[in-house]
Chain A
Amino acid sequence: MRKFITHLMFFILPLLIALTVLMLVIPRNNGDNTNYLAAIIDKHKRLESTSVPRLIFAGGSNLAFGMDSKLIEEEMKTSVVNLGLDAGLGLEFMLGELESSIKAGDTVYLSLEYWLSIYGSIIHKDIAKRLFPESRNYCSKSIIHDLGVRINETRNSFLDLILKNSSSESTVDTAYTSIYSRKAFNQYGDVTVHFNKAPTFVSNPTELKYVSWNGIELINEFYNHAKSKNVTVYFLYPCFPESEFKLNKSALKQLVREIRNNLEVPILNDYNDFVYHDSLFFDNKYHLNKLGRELRTQKIISILKRKRKCTTRNRVKGKFKVR
């Protein structure tokens, strides 16, 4: 046994030394401040500069591309903060971000991509954490995962050096087009820079298979936490192209049924409310173009106004309850 352990150590040691040297020598991708994910800094600045009550929208880039926060703010006469950024950050990150940011009196609207991953992409989270250190608290800490990210980065940077090519993982910033930068966002946290650019979305629907969504439990936990802080939470379905919707109606129906049966958060709309013609999308199935964004914003406003009316009516009824 001793011989086995000794020989194994001697075999592994050069590999560990080589890996450690590579990890130390090869520069890390810190994601510069012009990175798309760096917009998280501006979104949080806005969050801090707006006072309660606030309407806080949280989700992936379906929100970044899919709403006019300024118009909603004017119509609802309440400050709006659009935290929508990137589905790659994962549900855990988004809910952790909300938990750190919400205050009593806020209203949170969760608009999440279908089957949003709980853990997202460790590369995206890692870049966000380095650009905005406060976000390190948004996810459960895992030395194992962090080590995995670091090894992965080292490997990609090593490949870059050898092949003198950009690898899609280590330079996730450069994998984005010029649309995907911090400058793409306006002061409200909405992406607007693509308005005058020709859409590149090609209708090529892919079949989705229904699987149970494990994010519901996490959202329910967040909901209970939010309630204890006197924060209201609502759920909104994301936008989706018509062609994808038609192809995947059965799978989506099953998912929606699961959400309706298990999600404790009140759902404000129907899942086909934000289904739009493919021509209203910009470059992927969650990113609306200018016109699509306008239509969705109007719909969001009508949903929020309707809800507000209902809430007020119920409050009044409650006040003058017949004994």
Chain B
Amino acid sequence: MFFNSIDFAIFLPIVFILYWFVTNNNLKLQNLLIVGASYLFYGWWDWRFLSLIFFSTLVDYSIGLALLKQENPHKRKILLWMSILVNLGFLGFFKYYNFFLDNLITAFSFFGTEISASSLNIILPVGISFYTFQTLSYCVDVYRRKLEPTKDFIAFTAFVSFFPQLVAGPIERATHLLPQFYTQRKFDYHVAVDGLRQILWGLFKKMVIADNCAEWTNVIYDNSTDYSGSTMVVGAVLFSFQIYGDFSGYSDIASGTSRLFGFSLMRNFAFPYFSRDIAEFWRRWHISLSTWFRDYLYIPLGGSKGGMSNKIRNIFIIFIVSGFWHGANWTFIIWGALNAIYFIPLLLSNRNRTNLDIAAAGKYLPTVKEFIQIAGTFVLTAFAWIFFRAENVAHALDIISKILSRSLFSLPEKRPTYLFILIVFFILIEWLGREQQYALHNLNRYLNKPLRITLYYIIIILIFVFYMTKNQKFMYFQF
């Protein structure tokens, strides 16, 4: 079920009431309830997917316990590789089988040999890219002895299937989330209110910003042959806000929902469009995935140790794999490679860790230099998003060639004024709240209670007025 659906609006209060009122603060019962609710939530899409997540849970739970008992380094490695093969095997089959097959056929035909192989009709299980990475990181951490494996199967199942973050992250580390299933949760009024506030902001980002941008983006991209370069720029900008609103909105709803149950999830977005360079952008965008790749791929490859060629190689590997994680299409790989190309100059000039705090920290407005840096970084990422959104590489190149043509200076055919106003309002709120966990957090710094309540009502009215009746699913569900 979608977060922005009536089904979820009914599901959440029921689970909330059962969790705090019926379980009587019994930890085991609460965990069991979370497992039940999470499996119901996940099975709502397709009950057949439940067997997959359960099997993945069982495998990694068993491997975790086996690693506890096994001291032989060689056998420990075998166990770790079993987890890697099972998790990545699932991911590889469901997500990438047809991609590799199609490319193999193309490669053979390029050399004049036709091979006959039919692609399979494979349904991609929702959230598989997220929970396989989550369970895989558990086994790796147990192997590295960073974490004691759990003997509590219910707690582990709850950790893997925890419904707020199951289908689109954040990709939680066992070291952060799993211990929360062993600890007594106490209801905290302020945490719960903050959770609701974060859910509200997430719904605004998704239903008002992302979904409305999606309506226009779909028209522009699906009919790109009919539009000028300036309209393609409009499409690229709107898509940048669509993907940010969609994905960070989901993360906010996930985080806010978790807090209602006494859990704390890791922060997944830290105002990435206010970044002053690409390195800062990647410290602020999809943080759970980029840190996952850093800890489980980049550092094992050598990270930034070794010569310059090693560093560059590792950067390319990370970004390309990250692109590939998003989908089985060359466009995602090119998107990843583009980001690597953006990143390399910063790495080579040792400026990849210069902007560690938020832009204009402690001030109201950025300096001119900061503004130019923010705008420049936004342009680079929006350009790369063209590949991310395009149907295929040819489509992306076609769009780019239009943007680089004279039609860039014509009046755009699509000019959704109301949407630009909404985006400006959105950027303003995000800018004012940029030093917080999320934009509406700690608003009492700027607004007294009546004004805060008024702002919440305005946001709710905007959601009511601007939500799209065609329920746009969350984009990252397809990953």
Q: Which residue of B lies closest to A8 (CB)?
A: B196
Task: List B151-173 residues whose CB lies under 8 Å from chain A.
Answer: none
Interface 1/0 per residue, B182-220 and A, CB below 8 Å: 000001010011001000000000000000000000000
Q: Which chain B residues border A4 with CB–CB below 8 Å?
A: 187, 189, 192-193
A24 is an interface residue with CB less than 8 A from chain B: no
Q: In the complex, are the beta carbons of A144 and B6 less than 8 A apart? A: yes
- Tell me whether A11 is interfacial, beta carbon within 8 Å: yes
Alpha-carbon gap, A204 to B223, bound state (A): 9
List residues of chain B with CB under 8 Å of any chain A CB: 6-7, 10, 20, 121, 123, 187, 189, 192-193, 196, 222-223, 391, 453, 456-457, 460, 464-465, 467, 469
Q: Per a CB cutoff under 8 Å, which of B187, B391, B469 touches A152? A: B469
Number of residues on chain A facing chain B (CB within 8 A): 25
Nearest 4 CB-CB pairs, A to B?
A1-B187, A4-B189, A148-B6, A144-B6
**Which of chain B's residues have a CB closer than 8 A to the CB of A152?**
469
Complex contacts, B121 vs chain A, CB 8 Å: 210, 212, 254, 258
Q: Are A207 and B391 in contact (CB under 8 A)?
A: yes
Partner of A144, one of B7, B196, B453, B457: B7
When chains A and B are docked, how far (Å) is the Cα of A204 from the Cα of B225? 11
Q: Is the CB–CB distance between B123 and A212 below 8 Å? A: yes
Q: List 18 A-B contacts (CB under 8 A).
A: A3-B189, A4-B187, A4-B189, A4-B193, A7-B193, A11-B456, A14-B457, A15-B457, A15-B460, A123-B469, A144-B6, A144-B10, A148-B6, A155-B464, A155-B465, A155-B467, A158-B465, A169-B469
Distance, CA A151 to CA B196, complexed state (A) = 22
Tell me which residues across on chain A come within 8 A of B196, comparing CB atoms: 8
A218 within 8 A of B: no
User: Quick check: is A228 within 8 A (CB to CB) of the other chain?
Assistant: no
Q: A213 CB to closest chain B CB, in angstroms?
A: 11
CB-CB nearest in chain A for B122: A212
Compute how far the CA of A144 lies from the CA of B391 in the bound complex, rounded to whole angstroms: 36
Instruction: Bits for A205-224, please: 1 = Cβ < 8 Å to B, else 0.
Output: 01100101000000000000
Residue A147, interface by CB 8 Å: yes
- B contact face: mostly helix, strand, loop, or mixed: helix
Chain A residues with CB below 8 A from B465, complex form: 155, 158-159
Per the bound structure, the CA–CA distance linking A258 and B7 in Å amounts to: 30
CB distance from B116 to the nearest CB of A (A): 15
Distance, CA A72 to CA B453, complexed state (A): 66
List A residues 183-241 near B (Cβ within 8 Å): 204, 206-207, 210, 212
Closest residue of chain A to B7 (Cβ to Cβ) is: A144
- Name the B residues within 8 Å of A148 (CB-CB): 6
Query: A11 and B222 in contact (CB under 8 A), knowing A144-B10, A155-B465, A212-B123?
Result: no
Q: How far is the CB of B441 from chain A (nearest CB, A)?
A: 18
- In the bound complex, do residue B6 and residue A147 qualify as a contact, i.e. CB atoms below 8 Å apart? yes
Shortest CB-to-CB span from B470 to chain A, Å, is: 10
Give the CA-CA distance A308 to B290 in the complex, in Å: 65
Q: Let me know if A11 and B187 touch, CB within 8 A.
A: no
> Cβ of A207: which chain B residues have Cβ within 8 Å of it?
391
